[in-house]
Amino acid sequence: MKKIFITEPYLSPLEEFIPYLEKIWENKRLTNNGPFHEEFEKNLAQYLGVEYISLFANGTLALVTALQALRISGEVITTPYTFVATAHSLLWNNIKPVFADIEPDTYNIDPRKIEEAITPQTTAILPVHIYGYPCNIEAIQDIADNYGLKVIYDAAHTFGVKHQNQSLCSFGDLSVLSFHATKVFNTFEGGAIICPDLKTKQRIDYLKNFGIADETTVVAPGINGKMNELQAACGVLQLKYIDNQIKKRGLVDSFYREHLDCVRGITCLPLPTGVMYNYSYFPILIEPDYYLERDQLYEKLKANNIFTRRYFYPLVSEYPMYRGLDSASKNNLEFAYKKSRKILCLPIFPSISKEVLATIVSLIKET
């Protein structure tokens, strides 16, 4: 049986991509804001309903640059329930991460815990829209406004998600997207920063290109974070199919819910309400009354070539570079710790067959 992973990238048919490759070869522009880069940036902004976007080689470089662009320093409050890149971007900027616990129902950072964690050294909040579920945007913004803090959203899971009929990426001072191969929308690797105005976009564009303004002028100590033409061409093509792919993911989500809602000891996370969702993940909780522990079910599925992910376990706060922080204490992160020991994300991607889905459900149901 084929190995079935939590996500598999949707890629357009190869014959459709070949003309794009030929065009890149004809243009002799492989990077540095080539024609596909410009087209993708324009089309993506239009699709997401935002004005300004800066494309990146990957989402981690985009996070690092977003913090640089807003000149963030000191301490930043973030969640331990995320991928390590969120916190790593802080360390790369010599910023101290301060972890706050999550809400038990949304798995997103708890605004009440954010406020409790603020000190005179706090300069920003770095929340994550976990599984594409919107954070409590209003409460977080109120806290930021009251204390004079910046808000940068790690929006890696949120491609296409709308909240209050707006792109979820349009909130905060900046939002950062990932187009990694495991995401709903991918360019193999890739990422972007959603910017509020042209001035901010210009600064970000300088920073991702070594700080170069023109042939003889360097205005900032930038890095090389540019998206190349191959990635951009992939993005242009993938955008044509994304709505249909999200619909197919929704059908997979419905299948799981129909067949797992009645299984004792298995809890499916409810879909967010009032949101245009992208079905980026299908997380379930393995409760104490299930006949196996979470890791035992993980190994059982793996033995049958079903590769799930324990997103997010361990917590970022448990890794060696973070666990010495006062905020990394298990007592400070009660809900994050508990949820990380129960969570399991099942395979969800557009091309997964009903036969495979039936096998997954059968393996979970059998005792």
In this prediction, residue 1 carries a pLDDT of 58
- Identify the pLDDT of residue 367: 79
**Would you give the DSSP letter of residue 342?**
T
Look up residue 66 and give its two tokens. Answer: 């977003």
pLDDT at 7: 82
User: Which own/partner contact pairs does 363-366 have at CB distance under 8 Å and 24+ positions apart?
Assistant: 363/300, 363/301, 363/304, 363/306, 364/260, 364/263, 364/266, 364/297, 364/301, 365/259, 365/263
Please name the amino acid found at residue 136: N
pLDDT reported for residue 220: 95
Q: 52-81 b/e with 16+ CB inside 10 Å = b?
A: bbbbbbbbbbbbbbbbbbbebeebbbbbbb
CA 340 to chain centre: 17
| φ/ψ of residue 262, rounded to 5 | -95, 5
pLDDT of residue 229: 96
CA distances from 118 to 81, 95, 125, 289 (A): 19, 14, 10, 38
Four-CA torsion 185, 107, 6, 350, nearest 10 degrees: -40
Burial of residue 94 (CB within 10 Å: 0-12, 13-18, 19+) is exposed
Give dist(CA 70, CA 306) in Å, integer.
Answer: 42
The single-letter DSSP state of residue 132 is: G
Q: Which two tokens stand for residue 223?
A: 């890095």
Q: Could you give the angle at which helices 354-365 and 294-303 cross, rounded to 10 degrees? A: 140
DSSP tag of 61: H
CB 10, CB 201: distance < 8 Å: no
What residue type is 248 in one-letter code?
K
Query: Residues with Cβ < 8 Å from 174, sequence gap 6 or more?
Result: 66, 69, 70, 152, 153, 193, 194, 195, 196, 200
Res 247: pLDDT = 97
pLDDT given at position 9: 78
Q: Tell me the residue length of the chain.
A: 367
Residue with tokens 């360097």: 218
The predicted pLDDT at position 39 comes to 98
Task: Report residues of the chain scoring pLDDT below 70.
Answer: 1
Residues 259, 264, 266, 270, CA torsion sign: positive
pTM: 0.96
d(CA 173, CA 70): 9
Q: Are 211 and 222 in contact (CB under 8 A)?
A: yes
Domains, the chain, ordered by start? 5-239 (3.40.640.10), 242-365 (3.90.1150.10)
Q: How far apart are CA 205 and CA 212, in angstroms?
A: 9
